[in-house]
Amino acid sequence: MSETLTLNKIVGQKGISTAEAANRVSDLGWTPSYVQEAMTFPTDYKISKVPRDPMKQVLRSYFPMQEEKDNRVYGALDAALRGDMFRNVEPRWVEWMKLFLAIIPFPEISAARSMAMVGRLAPGEELRTGFTMQMVDEFRHSTIQMNLKKWYMENYIDPAGFDITEAAFGKCYATTIGRQFAEGFLTGDAITAANIYLTVVAETAFTNTLFVAMPSEAARNGDYALPTVFLSVQSDESRHIGNGHSMLMAMIHDPSNHQLLERDLKYAFWQNHAIVDAAIGTFIEYGTTNRDKNKESYAELWHRWIYEDYYRTYMLPLEKYGIKIHHDDVAEAWDRIVKKNYVHKTAQFFSVGWSFNFWRIEAQTEKDFEWFEHKYPGWYAEFGDFWKWYAKLSVPGEKNIAFNADVGYVYPHRCWSCMVPCLIREDFCCDEVDGKVYTYCSEGCRWTHKVAFAAEYEGRATPAMGRFSGRREWEECYHGWDHADAMVDLGFVRSDGKTLVPQPHLRFEQKDMWTLDHVRGNTLGSPLRAFRALKPGAERDAAVAEYRKGYTINPCN
Amino acid sequence: MSASPQTVQKSGAAGSAVFAGSDSRKYNYFEPKARKASHYEDMTVDVQPDPERYLLQDWIISFPDGTPTYSKTWTKALSSNWHQFRAVDQEWERTHYQRQSTICGMVQGVIENARKSGAPKRFDSAWVKVLQDHLGAYKHAEFGLGTSLMQAQRYGYTQMINNATLTNSSYKLRFAQDLTLYLSEIGLDLQGFDHNAGKKHWLENPIWQGTRKSIEAIMGATDYLEQYLATNLVFEPLVGELFRSGFIMQMAASQGDFATPSVVAAAEADYERNLANTVELIHMLTHDKEHGAHNVKLFNGWIAHHGALAKEAAANLQPIWSQPRVKVSSFAEAQERAHNRIQTICSQVGLQAS
Ligand SMILES: [Fe+2]
Ligand SMILES: [Fe+2]
Ligand SMILES: [Zn+2]
């Protein structure tokens, strides 16, 4: 018997088909005639076609399906505790979750909010159920992640950093990078934000690294909770990707949209690369203790998820609609990962800055070195000494690595666009926007600020496009502050009022822990202020040339 | 002193070492409403940040006119502390899915059992036409509120406000679909049942034009709080409940229909929760020490505006009460209850039901 036996069949009761149900439901909308809806979130795009709903699902099957998924997640969390998961979990891994889980609930809920924007823009109501499900999904993701974080806080050896999580999210230089990711979903041109940046690029391309690669690494570190939650989160993504794709298809046939599509695909890809690869690459490569040489490195994962699955199977086919795909950016991102050590330099920066963080980072050791050298030949020559220095300087009373001239590390400029520092020195650049000088990690980021986020694009007015704002250089917020005072202001001090939340090691004895006294006496400064103080012309050019040359880490013995 | 080899920590479990902060196992960055933070608060508070609380670097993207990612200017209401509000229903994802899923199961059970027992065929024929035309039209009102709240959940100043608006939207859109699919399925058992009649009545029948106008006024409002208030403090008591409770629930049984009230009852329960949330928020704003008077004036204006539309909508609905063959309750009684209801609600929050 091939057909499934259902109660309806037994009693001979015919229901309506799912497709029919979806059609009826999509007929709930109408065009208002008494009061017009205000175009509260404008776009410069034209959406002339009605986007089609590829999913054909209705809420009465959606809610029970999601409840069932939830039951499995919460059941697995209970089982993990019964199985004493935390006895065997790797603290090196869980510490990075303090950063990751401080960031991610806000991007998630931002995606929920952005459904308001596409919901009203899409002509017809066929996609409304899809947007509704995505809105509720993202509410699910945000709160289920807050729950996971609370669960770590309750059960992991060192809860400090989890306990201040949303306050830390507002203050830390690293979480701001994640906020750039999220604010991009819901501010500015509604289609740029909620369709291209969020759905067509972030969800379609990058959630695999976030929600599939991360869970695998978690499991290798004895963490079975994160995979349970995040694979469940990821199982919602195919619907979101479907929503995004059908919106895209409703616009792509109109050539007047092509210029903007090219701009936004370029902007979104480059920002996602700069932000997601920096963060997730670091978590996966440096947050793990598993050094199995047979597992894929982040670079290998990237090649599979981003290059093959996204670039080759999703982006390239868009060319047949006459869209120019920025092949060179994809190639450049790949080079940054495999040749220019983007991830390694990010992890190095987070570690130099350990004493401004709200999580612990321990040193990489010989066993790690071997794996890195195997996966990234040449790694040891560039980073080996640095990590030896890091281990050596992890003892309280040693001179803090961020201010220690013996090491040879030079504190970087910050990129005004992606907010990751300008770590690939040779790619450093600067430009003027509205009469002010800004620094960037790459040409892609310079273009993003100066060209993409502007009132005009290639001669075409773009009145709906957003702008970069706020105090985007974190260092400027504490310019002239003593390090210890900044830590107090940040709130990254433990409950005894003196021990720091961050530590450069995983030693859990009080005597090994750094306190405010150990970091007092160093003054923070804004690299951008210093740069702006240089005279335009020869003086500034010389500084750029000098920065691009880079630095050398001194041997550590 | 040598830093390596690193100490081997035997366990990553809570309590396996004692050091500063090792017992700090509660989110400590907000003030709980009660003595102890609820799980809902832990899941919700401060996830949407605020430059006045912890957002050191301020919002980092703005709209072209300089408006940041979130702005207090998106409502005319003022608050000395937007973060004070907590949703009374305490929903986070798990409780939301549990509740929604239970309702979906209940509604499907009702439909299945009703059809299995041949119930729709026993509905009075005049009543079938009422369901087809008027319940069919009314489902669009629910949908309009759902989409309007979906829009509103982008604008609130805190996570608590926006999540309460989001779940309200989710409830409304589910109920609009519940009605659509309920009518579709009982329609299979009723000869000549016209699935398109409801929308036609919604768009064209003078009986429904007041309601449609009222809904479109809420959908078209640009102040998210106005949308939220007009939905739950005005439209729902004056028109929504009037039709759902005052007509469908009252009349159905006498027309041989025991199924429809069960489907509609879910919306009444949804509304109790959404009303409680709204009352809590509006009460907070009308009792704000600094801005209470400003808010009272503003809200009374909204109530007067949307109230006039809703009253006209309700009056237009009157002919429906005489359409069922068996008449068990009058429009006047239902309207009386609706007016009492809005009076009670408004007096709770210090406002005037005009
Ligand atoms: Fe999500
Ligand atoms: Fe998503
Ligand atoms: Zn950059």
A98 closest CA partner among A240, A199, A242, A223: A223
pLDDT value of residue A10: 53
pLDDT value of residue A36: 87
Beta bridge partners of B61: A468
Residues of A in contact with B97 (CB under 8 A): 63, 66-67, 70, 140
pTM of this prediction exceeds 0.90: yes
Structural domains for chain B: 90-349 (1.10.620.20)
pLDDT digits (tens, 9 = 90+) for B234-286: 999 999 999 999 999 999 999 999 999 999 999 999 999 999 999 999 999 99
* Tokens 């599979």 -> residue: A304
Instruction: Tell me which ligand sits closest to the C-alpha of residue A230.
Output: 1
The 3-state DSSP composition of chain A as helix, strand, coil percent (nearest 5) reads 60, 5, 35
- The CATH number for A74-289, chosen from 3.30.2350.10, 1.10.620.20, 1.10.8.870, 1.10.3720.10, is 1.10.620.20
- In chain B, which among 172-211 make CB contacts under 8 A with chain A? 173-174, 176-178, 180-181, 184-185, 188, 195, 199, 202-203
| B312 in contact with chain A, both atoms CB, cutoff 8 A | no
Asked if A40's CB is within 8 angstroms of B61's CB, the reply is no
Could you give the C-alpha distances from A159 to B26, B27, B29, B107, B251, in angstroms and in order?
9, 10, 14, 44, 58
CA distance A420 to A175: 10
Residues of A in contact with B11 (CB under 8 A): 86-88, 157
Asked if A67's CB is within 8 angstroms of B64's CB, the reply is no
Residue A512's Cα: distance from chain center in Å? 32
pLDDT band at B3 (very low <50, low <70, confident <90, very high): very low
Question: Which among B18, B68, B174 has the least Cβ separation from residue A59?
Answer: B174
pLDDT value of residue B215: 98
Beta bridge partners of A431: A438
CA distance A121 to A118: 5
Would you kindly state where each structural domain of chain A is located, as residue ranges?
74-289
Asked if A70's CB is within 8 angstroms of B96's CB, the reply is no
Q: How far is the CA of A236 from the centre of ligand 1 (A)?
A: 7
Token readout for B76 is 């005319």
Query: Is the ipTM of this structure higher than 0.85?
Result: yes
pLDDT value of residue A6: 54
CA distance A375 to A369: 10
- In chain B, which among 218-257 make CB contacts under 8 A with chain A? 219-220, 222
- In chain B, which among 44-103 make CB contacts under 8 A with chain A? 44-50, 53-64, 66, 68-69, 92-94, 96-98, 100-101, 103
pLDDT value of residue A8: 52
Residue length of chain B: 354
Q: Mean pLDDT throughout B310-326?
A: 97
Q: How far is the CA of B276 from the centre of ligand 1 (A)?
A: 29
pLDDT in single tens digits along all 557 residues of chain A: 334 445 555 555 788 998 999 999 999 999 999 998 877 889 999 998 999 888 889 999 999 999 999 999 999 999 999 999 999 999 999 999 999 999 999 999 999 999 999 998 888 888 999 999 999 999 999 999 999 999 999 999 999 999 999 999 999 999 999 999 999 999 999 999 999 999 999 999 998 888 889 999 999 999 999 999 999 999 999 999 999 999 999 999 999 999 999 999 999 999 999 999 999 999 999 999 999 999 999 999 999 999 999 999 999 999 999 999 999 999 999 999 999 999 999 999 999 999 999 999 999 999 999 999 999 999 999 999 999 999 999 999 999 999 999 999 999 999 999 999 999 999 999 999 999 999 999 999 999 999 999 999 999 999 999 999 999 999 999 999 999 999 999 999 999 999 999 999 999 999 999 999 999 999 999 999 999 999 999 999 999 999 999 999 999 98
pLDDT value of residue A9: 54
User: Which one-letter DSSP state was computed for residue A407?
Assistant: T
Evaluated on CA atoms A321, A322, A324, A330, the torsion sign reads positive
Contact A16, B185 (CB under 8 A): yes
pLDDT value of residue A385: 98
Beta bridge partners of A523: A482
Residue B56, pLDDT above cutoff 70: yes
pLDDT digits (tens, 9 = 90+) for A240-276: 999 999 999 999 999 999 999 999 999 999 999 999 9
CB-based contacts of B301, cutoff 8 Å, min separation 6: none
Question: Dihedral, CA atoms, B219, B225, B226, B227, nearest 10 degrees?
Answer: 20
The terminus-to-terminus CA distance of chain B in angstroms comes to 79
Residue B113 backbone class (left: φ over 0; alpha: ψ -120 to 50; beta: rest): alpha
pLDDT value of residue A2: 39
Q: Look up residue A200 and give its amino acid.
A: V
B172 closest CA partner among B154, B155, B152: B152
Please classify residue B231 by burial: count the beta carbons closer than 10 Å to its beta carbon, then call 0-12 exposed, 13-18 middle and 19+ buried: buried
Main-chain dihedrals φ then ψ at residue A194, nearest 5 degrees: -85, -20
Task: Round the average pLDDT of chain B to a whole number and report it.
Answer: 96
Q: Look up residue B75 and give its amino acid.
A: T
pLDDT value of residue A37: 84
For chain B, the three-class secondary structure string (H helix, E strand, C coil) is CCCCCCCCCCCCECCCCCCCCCCCCCCCCCCCCCCCCCHHHHHHCCCCCCCCCCCCCCCCEECCCCCECCCHHHCCCCCCCHHHCCCCCCCCHHHHHHHHHHHHHHHHHHHHHHHHCCHHHHCCHHHHHHHHHHHHHHHHHHHHHHHHHHHHCCCCCCHHHHHHHHHHHHHHHHHHHHHHHHHHHHHCCCCCCCCCHHHHHHHHCHHHHHHHHHHHHHHHCCCHHHHHHHHHHHHHHHHHHHHHHHHHHHHHHHHCCCCHHHHHHHHHHHHHHHHHHHHHHHHHHHCCCCCHHHHHHHHHHHHHHHHHHHHHHHHHHHHHHHCCCCCCCCHHHHHHHHHHHHHHHHHHHCCCCC
CA distance A444 to A459: 20
pLDDT value of residue B1: 38
CB-based contacts of A398, cutoff 8 Å, min separation 6: A392
Q: Mean pLDDT throughout B3-21?
A: 77
CA distance A121 to A412: 42
Q: Parallel, antiparallel, or unpaired for β A467-468 and A460-461?
A: unpaired
- In chain A, which among 528-557 make CB contacts under 8 A with chain B? none
Residue B6, pLDDT above cutoff 60: no
Instruction: Tell me which ligand sits closest to the C-alpha of residue A445.
Output: 3
Interface A-B: count of C-beta contacts within 8 A: 372
Contact A128, B169 (CB under 8 A): no
